[in-house]
Structure 1
């Protein structure tokens, strides 16, 4: 009985195994494991599916979900259904499944790959010094963005591996490989020295990709006046800029000197030159970056008509101590920077002072009739709260004092004393990979004191105090759209006083206050790889006593890249100016008229049109051609008295000032060529500037005082090995025009007798600027010898000669009638002026 049960169990087990094996074999022989024979080599997806169905394989699918016309190439032969369908449907958003009696092809939702953000800062290597406006490119993917004012960038990319190229003017490009799998923060650190042989350039570099940035490291051997390296004077080598290296004025595209907006770490500078304009107030050892705009103005800037000069100082090295010392004929200076807490808190400080008064004191032990000195002091602190937040505190203090004694009395006969005080406190915050915030508190104070201790015994005092609050936001929507939004408010007070201080002062202080509210929006839009658009709007509400002005200022610029080296562009800007300054002199001294707009003094306005073309050369350099037209309105000028001279400065300013309109138009050409050892640069400007006023010249147009028809600058620098470099600069400019009275002889007999007694035509008013001074030209030569010591310490000896040949522009021009004779007096720079200076960096 037991054996019978065992046999029955074994038989049942065998039956179960056979049954399962049959089921397994049946499953294995499903539709997907069957084979078909393909007879077509080049067909469409639809034809291959039809061929499969024709061999008895039922397929179920929707024709509108498949690209049935897609071309597919296969080899003839036998294929398993599962393998064949995988090959045919590789690019289709469908899956297949064996449903027993047929093969079902059904669609699947394809989740698009999520884009990730690559963001961070661009720093100078070994310092954590942020580099503003650096360019970041993924050249193999045709993607490019630009960092903001404080070196922060943001890129939106799909997951993958990217080659990122980072560049900044004056630095060699850096190339990194980034593996992007999620949102990532990555900082780039650029080397501080150009070493192109160590850098593999993946894309052609366009030397005109950022025409507004000023290369502070370019041509260190250029022969600036008295050998004083000056970042602001370097701008006068640009096309469309006039004034001369020895002139206190800087006129851009026919505008006056006060129409230049100069910012130091965001704080406005109301007088940016030292006495006579030989030197600006900016010490080159502390300047990090300069942006110069003479058109295509971003909407965040306002308040001037002709140019914007935005100067940013260094932040202080957070990892190493460095310094510099300079010895020159006019000034001596020192700079020192380094960490207070490494990678957390840093400082930078510089000081500069002239030593002419000290030299005079050594040569003449007695009391001197002439005294003059200037000084500049910059101090900046940088606190890195964390990787997303920083606080800066920047300050500047500078002054000039000039005194001249003629009468031999104990007190000087004439004294000038003026200077600037600037403070800016700034907070940067990266809120996320898209949003960057910058908030700033600003203070600017400019004052001047003029004392005439001679016969008049008068004292004149002017002061401008400006307190402002800025808040700016940068938002990166994607790689093709970046927005800048901000608001600002400025509280400004103008104070002026004129008094007789002999025997005692009787001050008569006039104070004018204004509130300046500003809102702006700027948008950088990439319409395609070649077509870029900048669209912005600036709104200003200017409040003064009994009057409020509203100003809407649209700004637009469009550029089109023909290829990687050529670009066309067109731009439109509307600018308004609410602070005014008029000077009788071209020399840089405290000007007697400064005032804000009020109910009797409307804001000056300008509309600027630009059309241009830029092309870079493969070997370095390039050419730029620009046409511009600038229309002025409410331009201020002096009223002439009965002798056709400016009204006496003691009269109330409303009686001295009139307004008019005008225009400036011109052609500007800039050319640069860099060879192995030779750098060439040539600029040419052809321009015309015309004013008109109903109260002058019977309303007829006349030449503006800034009308200089032709200007030429040519520069050449030769690098003679690793240590020596020589350079030369040639300048030519049409002579300046001034207004002179027109007279006739009273009696012909007097004229024949040689008396030349003159008298003005009765009721005849001369055309302004009717007398043209001789054309100006000069040649400057310079050389530099540099030597590198241990620990990367470097010394540079500079020497040369200014005004080797030529007729340089005069510092001061005056027209007078003496003994019935008309005379024009010019105060010129010394024609042959040698210089020598030494700089040491450690």
Structure 2
């Protein structure tokens, strides 16, 4: 395969060969402590003001005329490093930068120079500062990446304190979430209250809301690209973290110093342990509880200066269980769901200007429910299962044709298998199976190309992706043009615009915003077409001073072939119904404007953001075919996240006060307007005993979808952080958080009882503490 790639690329390069008086310097920028690649770091030469940025694997390439050059290497939070290299031939180097998180001047320069994607505004694209995220106020001591995202403009949570997020009027299934390049399909633990991502195992997080490059496909709203740590190539080390509900342990070690390494990171809740002990002490005939766990692992092997192999895996699971013994009857119930991902990746430098990444991944989401009841004379088993599998191979190639012109292209081939809802019941009298025929297979091939160009004050990324998917006897072809363009009006003012066309072959069947395990992924079929969408964005960024920056961006998004349950329907409301019998197909649109003001340095730093937005849906069978507000149509959204660094009389100790505030318009929801009695439908009569078939049941009528608006949602959170260094690598951190400090009882959901709408609130004022030790 490597010979084939070399042949293909040399043919391309042959037609555009540069003059022989130029040479290329390429290589990696890494962290001097552990060898981790620095993604988005800059390397520039003041002699001719040429420079480049490391890609998502830490690689860079720069072609220059021969001569002696001084290169300046920079990355936010690290000391800048200058190196002198006589460039009279192609050269491969690795530059190690030393971290220094305490010098503001480094942060200022890094932010000004580190234009990772200068075609995109900071409101379309951004990287998540994991170190800053760990200082933010949290609930129950659990740092959560997806909840940190919800402070960004245009990103809204589902219900209070849930990990599900909605971007610019889209639904949560329209977000592509990648872990080391593999999609994660259920990102929720504890029924949506926490996400599956363990921050201690993460290295880099990139987030796109607009201007999404052509290399990303399969979703309409956003891309969250998460990279795991690679493992320390220099020395052994680890992290222990404890919160009121869980414990985390991360261990890194070189297998062969500077050659190969291993990282293992695990997290588990202990909510079930005290309950188990109590029931055992009481000699109870029952045993029940709930827990979840995550396990991340990654192996990193540097074969030589040009080739590296990575093997990473994630396994996470939630489990709810119940055991009981009553008289002669034994009951055993298990309800569990979880993800499994595995990625094998090969990075290779094919030439000084060509970098290739080839990866193979496997991703699975699975839900199991099992109930076993037995006596001395009988035994019954009920098994319900839903799962999906995704297997893919893909290739991405970076070709640094000129210092100001980079081509990126590649493709993927994937196969997805869906089991939306399989149920099996077995007793001593016989057995029956429901919905076994519901399984569906989707095959997809996708190719793309991007052109990243800088022409003076103008830079752009013009790309095109073409995908073909086959489901059953139907084949869908999608062509997706992408464009992101920026114009540097003055040194401190930039204008941005972007356009993207997107398609999505997957649909999420859900009855709520909780991210429940009963949410099911299904594929497009002969009757249910892929979702499609278009997004336009226009924005600006102004560097007010070296300390303050301001950004604003407008957007408009249209969406087609959206699906939703009919009002009052639930998934597979009868075992004889196909999921397509319960859905409606329609379209949507969203538009708005986002503002973001940031103070980047000093003892007080942070961001203030505001979004004014509209999101609407239209279905021919609902609301007389008229447009209506989407349930997450939150007109106003204001977020504040800031940090104040307290003075300390010791250089080995730092303290900070962090504040987070959120204010949003309330969600919309559908409440039944009329409830009446009706005969049991004929097709459901099997679900009732013969003597009950003529009885009446209650039927709800929903005339106007999302007609009820919840009150304004807001809360103020405060955190006090202490960081103490005990050596070069050792130290510990305390996080004391106060959630909802003024005890605002925000509505979590509403229900209607006897004609009265009633509110349920879940999260009052909650204090918590978290502790982390590093060595």
TM-score interval, smaller chain: 0.7 to 0.9
Kept in 2, the 8 Å contact 1:225–1:278? The answer is no
Matching of residue 434 in structure 1 with residue 353 in structure 2: yes
Larger deviation, residues 489-498 vs 166-175:
166-175
For residues 765 and 197 of structure 1, the distance between their equivalents in structure 2, rounded to whole angstroms, comes to: 57
Matching of residue 547 in structure 1 with residue 483 in structure 2: no
Kept in 1, the 8 Å contact 2:76–2:107? The answer is no
For residues 635 and 138 of structure 1, the distance between their equivalents in structure 2, rounded to whole angstroms, comes to: 50
Residue by residue, what CA displacement relative to the aligned partner does 1:162-189 show, whole Å, maximum 9, x if unpaired? 3322233443433333332322222221
TM-score normalised over the length of structure 2: 0.86
Q: Please name the residue that 1:382 is paired with.
A: 300
Q: Please name the residue that 2:363 is paired with.
A: 444
SS at match of 2:351: coil
Q: Please name the residue that 1:488 is paired with.
A: 412
Q: CA deviation at 1:139?
A: 4.2
Q: CA deviation at 1:507?
A: 3.1
Larger deviation, residues 412-421 vs 563-572:
412-421
Matching of residue 717 in structure 1 with residue 643 in structure 2: yes
Kept in 1, the 8 Å contact 2:672–2:700? The answer is no
Q: Please name the residue that 2:444 is paired with.
A: 516
Q: CA deviation at 1:362?
A: 3.4
SS at match of 2:581: helix
Matching of residue 593 in structure 1 with residue 520 in structure 2: yes
Matching of residue 499 in structure 1 with residue 439 in structure 2: no
Q: Please name the residue that 2:659 is paired with.
A: 728
SS at match of 2:366: strand
Larger deviation, residues 205-214 vs 414-423:
205-214
Matching residue within 99, 103, 117 for 1:196: 103
Q: Please name the residue that 1:393 is paired with.
A: 311
Over aligned residues, Cα RMSD in angstroms?
2.9
Matching residue within 548, 567, 571 for 2:498: 571
SS at match of 1:233: helix
Kept in 2, the 8 Å contact 1:447–1:463? The answer is yes
Residue by residue, what CA displacement relative to the aligned partner does 1:304-339 show, whole Å, maximum 9, x if unpaired? 111111111111111111111001112101111121
Residue by residue, what CA displacement relative to the aligned partner does 1:476-509 show, whole Å, maximum 9, x if unpaired? 1001110111110111111130234567763332
Q: Please name the residue that 2:3 is paired with.
A: none
For residues 597 and 201 of structure 2, the distance between their equivalents in structure 1, rounded to whole angstroms, comes to: 29
Q: CA deviation at 1:160?
A: 2.5
For residues 325 and 585 of structure 2, the distance between their equivalents in structure 1, rounded to whole angstroms, comes to: 40
In structure 2, relative to structure 1, the CA distance for the partners of 1:206 and 1:414 (3 Å cut) is farther
Q: Please name the residue that 1:143 is paired with.
A: 50
Q: Please name the residue that 1:326 is paired with.
A: 241
- Number of paired residues? 711
Q: Please name the residue that 2:400 is paired with.
A: 476
Q: CA deviation at 1:763?
A: 13
SS at match of 2:173: helix
For residues 407 and 766 of structure 1, the distance between their equivalents in structure 2, rounded to whole angstroms, comes to: 47
SS at match of 1:783: strand
Greater RCO (CA < 8 Å, at least 6 residues apart): 2
Q: Please name the residue that 2:266 is paired with.
A: 351
Kept in 2, the 8 Å contact 1:239–1:683? The answer is yes
In structure 2, relative to structure 1, the CA distance for the partners of 1:293 and 1:686 (3 Å cut) is same
Kept in 1, the 8 Å contact 2:42–2:113? The answer is no
For residues 268 and 723 of structure 2, the distance between their equivalents in structure 1, rounded to whole angstroms, comes to: 24
Q: Please name the residue that 1:118 is paired with.
A: 25
Residue by residue, what CA displacement relative to the aligned partner does 1:551-588 show, whole Å, maximum 9, x if unpaired? 00000011011233321100001111101102111112
Residue by residue, what CA displacement relative to the aligned partner does 1:686-708 show, whole Å, maximum 9, x if unpaired? 11000001111111000111211
Q: Please name the residue that 1:685 is paired with.
A: 611
Matching residue within 580, 599, 617 for 1:654: 580
Q: Please name the residue that 1:132 is paired with.
A: 39
In structure 2, relative to structure 1, the CA distance for the partners of 1:389 and 1:291 (3 Å cut) is same
In structure 2, relative to structure 1, the CA distance for the partners of 1:324 and 1:202 (3 Å cut) is closer
For residues 829 and 176 of structure 1, the distance between their equivalents in structure 2, rounded to whole angstroms, comes to: 56
Higher strand share: 2
Q: CA deviation at 1:715?
A: 1.7
Matching residue within 289, 292, 296 for 1:371: 289
For residues 633 and 411 of structure 1, the distance between their equivalents in structure 2, rounded to whole angstroms, comes to: 51
For residues 207 and 427 of structure 1, the distance between their equivalents in structure 2, rounded to whole angstroms, comes to: 27
For residues 258 and 356 of structure 1, the distance between their equivalents in structure 2, rounded to whole angstroms, comes to: 29
For residues 659 and 107 of structure 2, the distance between their equivalents in structure 1, rounded to whole angstroms, comes to: 33
Q: Please name the residue that 1:187 is paired with.
A: 94
Q: Please name the residue that 1:525 is paired with.
A: 453
Matching residue within 52, 67, 80 for 1:160: 67
For residues 412 and 356 of structure 1, the distance between their equivalents in structure 2, rounded to whole angstroms, comes to: 22
Q: CA deviation at 1:637?
A: 0.7
For residues 521 and 290 of structure 1, the distance between their equivalents in structure 2, rounded to whole angstroms, comes to: 23
In structure 2, relative to structure 1, the CA distance for the partners of 1:349 and 1:112 (3 Å cut) is closer
For residues 746 and 59 of structure 2, the distance between their equivalents in structure 1, rounded to whole angstroms, comes to: 43
Q: CA deviation at 1:728?
A: 1.3
Kept in 1, the 8 Å contact 2:674–2:700? The answer is no
Q: Please name the residue that 1:287 is paired with.
A: 202
Matching residue within 527, 531, 541 for 1:614: 541
Q: Please name the residue that 1:669 is paired with.
A: 595
In structure 2, relative to structure 1, the CA distance for the partners of 1:192 and 1:115 (3 Å cut) is same
For residues 341 and 471 of structure 1, the distance between their equivalents in structure 2, rounded to whole angstroms, comes to: 28
Which structure 2 segments of 5+ residues have no match?
1-17, 374-379, 648-652, 678-698
For residues 654 and 122 of structure 1, the distance between their equivalents in structure 2, rounded to whole angstroms, comes to: 51
Larger deviation, residues 647-656 vs 625-634:
647-656
SS at match of 1:171: coil
SS at match of 1:258: helix
Q: CA deviation at 1:678?
A: 1.0
Residue by residue, what CA displacement relative to the aligned partner does 1:697-733 show, whole Å, maximum 9, x if unpaired? 1110001112111111112211112422111111111
Kept in 1, the 8 Å contact 2:276–2:289? The answer is no
For residues 149 and 209 of structure 1, the distance between their equivalents in structure 2, rounded to whole angstroms, comes to: 10
Matching residue within 129, 140, 143 for 1:215: 129
In structure 2, relative to structure 1, the CA distance for the partners of 1:362 and 1:424 (3 Å cut) is same
Q: CA deviation at 1:153?
A: 0.6
For residues 230 and 449 of structure 1, the distance between their equivalents in structure 2, rounded to whole angstroms, comes to: 26
SS at match of 2:660: strand
SS at match of 2:127: coil
1:30-69 maps to which residues of 2 (within 5 A)? none
Q: CA deviation at 1:402?
A: 1.9
Matching of residue 708 in structure 1 with residue 617 in structure 2: no
Residue by residue, what CA displacement relative to the aligned partner does 1:815-838 show, whole Å, maximum 9, x if unpaired? 34x4x4244453x33301111111
Q: CA deviation at 1:743?
A: 3.9
Kept in 1, the 8 Å contact 2:41–2:114? The answer is no
Q: Please name the residue that 2:623 is paired with.
A: 697
For residues 446 and 36 of structure 2, the distance between their equivalents in structure 1, rounded to whole angstroms, comes to: 30
SS at match of 1:165: strand
For residues 172 and 805 of structure 1, the distance between their equivalents in structure 2, rounded to whole angstroms, comes to: 41
SS at match of 2:196: coil
In structure 2, relative to structure 1, the CA distance for the partners of 1:197 and 1:735 (3 Å cut) is closer
Residue by residue, what CA displacement relative to the aligned partner does 1:241-264 show, whole Å, maximum 9, x if unpaired? 011661142111111111111111
Q: Please name the residue that 2:253 is paired with.
A: 338
Q: CA deviation at 1:403?
A: 3.7
Kept in 2, the 8 Å contact 1:231–1:284? The answer is yes
Larger deviation, residues 382-391 vs 721-730:
721-730
Matching of residue 237 in structure 1 with residue 151 in structure 2: yes
